Structure 1
Amino acid sequence: MAGSDIALPTVSIITVTRNLIDEGRVDAIRAALEAAQDQGDAIVEHVIWDGASTDGTVELLKELIAEIEARPSFVPIRFQSLPDKSLYDAMNRGVEISQGEYVVFLNSDDLLVSPDCLQKAREEIGSGRPDFCFGRTIFVEKDGSKRLSRERKVHSILQRIPFCHNSMLIRRDVFDRFGGHDLDLRIVADYDLVLRMLFAGCEYQMLSVPIAVFHPGGVSADQMKTALEMTKSWRKNYAPFFGGRTYSEDEMLNWFRIGQLPLGFCVNLLRQSRNRPQLRNAALHSLKVTLRRRLQPWRTWDYFAD
């Protein structure tokens, strides 16, 4: 528990929307709004960025916000509706108009785990103020069943994002310093942002409290499209450690398929990250995974089949 003399960080919840009525997500956005309101004084505001909806969503949101603001007490809501280029552009724009010290992204059809999860996260962050931090996630499956994600560590980041984007809190000034999400990526810009922060030596903290309730699906469920974007991010971030080697797209797609990275890349990254322990741990983890899997020829991996 943070001491009473420590000013806890403020948090802005960022929710982006577009044409929710056409998508049949009216009940979902109502629930998301209430999830933010349930946090009480654990946050500073709820930012809603709408991408110029044309189906009546703007009017719906204004009505819902007016109902909330008529209550004796409520979490302040900052609402804006303007055209944007993509989901990640909308997220970036939502951050631009936010005022919290940290931001957390809450999709319009997702929820926060509990009314006190952000309060507990703030207490764990305390005076440490890491560049970003993350908690576990509750996944809701198609049959309605729920499962709590395994506890993951950042050292597995070189091959997969080890935690859910919606369960991550990022310091607003750090998000701005990195230019937010890369708009050249439409599926894995969240993963790419974490990679860029890690390679730059950002400090992170793993939280004990679960943060988000997440419904898997959407564009990221298309494994091939996801893999193609992953290779773009890998080439951008990993090229300095390829040792002058050029890898084809097919070669890099196979890295995704088998969950292994080239040994030469892992060794080069390990050698060049001696003064960056977090990156060194990630390189060592990927090296161990690759070696172990190569020594198990009787086993096969195919993440395209997942």
Structure 2
Amino acid sequence: MKISIITVCYNSEKTIEKTFKSVQAQTYKNIEYIVVDGGSKDSTIDLVKKYKSMISQWVSEPDKGLYDAMNKGIEMATGDIVGILNSDDIFTDEKVLENVANFHLKNKNMDASVGNILQFNEEEKTVRKYSAKNWNPEKLKIGFMPAHPAIFFKRDLFKKYGLYHLDFTIGADYELITRFFLQHKITWKFSEITTTSMLIGGVSSSGFSSYQLISKEIKKALTRNNIKFSYLKVQLRGFWKIIGFLNKK
């Protein structure tokens, strides 16, 4: 089983070498590693060239943003399954892709696996584990999605059901997950694998204005896919998270 891993980047010289090293350290070797750069002005491309022996394909050119770059990577991919590794993230250990491959091989009729992630701060201290153990697609209707980098999709799904929609600012991953899991009802399983350590503080995780924008885009994604939902529950999803946290204590 070939796994295509896609890293998109732009001016990522401060973090991307750790990303490359985490791919290089994987015990699973049937990896197609694709790097899509948006035309970086710093030394990112020098680092790409430094690690070119482990990179299957790469391109550096202007794009229309993060999701356009992801689409380019998916269209370049030839693997059986596809995963995303952001340019400031790393795999949690050297056996992540070996474990993912084994899980998919044991569940050959499964369209996607869903796992967990860790979040760390700039001091490299783990501050949160984001688990999908209790997640199910119905939770998309109230604004909850599994961590995007912990999902590994069969590549054929993108041919059947389409790529990321570029008219979303920070919610194209939410829309694609909604489209795949709710509209097309793909088959999936929780893998229990903690796949990725992510640097906290991304484009969709900071501030009230960001909260409002993602709320708007969640509603847009659900409406586009003809999913019935409550506007109020989506708007109050932060409240549901607090309740869920208190119930666990």
Q: Give the shorter-chain TM-score range.
A: 0.7 to 0.9
Contact 1:87 1:186 in 2 (8 A): no
TM-score (norm 1): 0.69
Under a length normalisation based on structure 2, what TM-score does the superposition of the two structures give? 0.84
Are residue 152 (structure 1) and residue 134 (structure 2) matched? yes
Whichever structure has more strand as a proportion of its residues is 2
Aligned equivalent of 1:140 = 120
Q: Report if the CA contact (8 A) 1:159-1:256 is conserved.
A: yes
How far residue 131 of structure 1 moved from its aligned partner, in angstroms, is 1.3
1:117 maps to which residue? 96
Asked which structure has the greater CA Rg, the reply is: 1
Please report how far the alpha carbon of residue 179 of structure 1 lies from its aligned counterpart in structure 2 after TM superposition: 1.6
**What is the SS of the residue equivalent to 2:12?**
coil
2:198 corresponds, among 190, 211, 214, to 214
Q: Counterpart of 1:136 in structure 2: which amino acid? A: N
1:11 corresponds, among 3, 26, 31, to: 3
* Bigger RCO (CA 8 Å, 6+ sep): 2
Q: Distance in 2 between matches of 1:210 and 1:145?
A: 13
Query: What is the match of residue 101 of structure 1?
Result: 80
Q: Paired residue for 2:51?
A: 65
2:29 equivalent to 1:46: no
**2:236 equivalent in structure 1:** 258
Encode CA deviations 1:196-225: one digit per residue, 9 max, x unaligned.
112212111110211111122222022111
Cα distance in 2 between the residues matched to 1:51 and 1:163:
26
Q: Is it true that 1:30 corresponds to 2:17 in the alignment? A: yes
AA in 2 matched with 1:14: I
Counterpart in 2 of 1:230? 218
Gaps of 5+ in 2: 245-249
Q: Distance in 2 between matches of 1:156 and 1:141?
A: 27
Contact 1:11 1:42 in 2 (8 A): no
Q: Cα distance, 1:61 vs. partner? A: 1.9
Cα separation, partners in 2 of 1:118 and 1:99, compared to 1, 3 Å:
same
Superposition RMSD in Å: 2.5
SS in 2 for 1:169: strand
Q: Which runs of 5+ in 1 are unaligned?
A: 1-8, 70-74, 243-250, 261-288, 290-298, 302-306
Question: Residues 192, 77 of structure 1: CA spacing in aligned structure 2 closer, same or farther, 3 A cutoff?
Answer: same
Q: Which residue of 1 aligns with 2:69?
A: 90
Aligned-partner residue type, residue 220 of structure 1? S
1:241-275, Cα deviation, whole Å (9 max, x unpaired):
48xxxxxxxx83x3322239xxxxxxxxxxxxxxx
Quote the Cα distance in structure 2 between the aligned partners of 1:178 and 1:238: 15
Q: Which residue of 2 aligns with 1:6?
A: none
Say whether residues 1:55 and 2:42 are aligned partners.
yes
Q: Which residue of 1 aligns with 2:247?
A: none
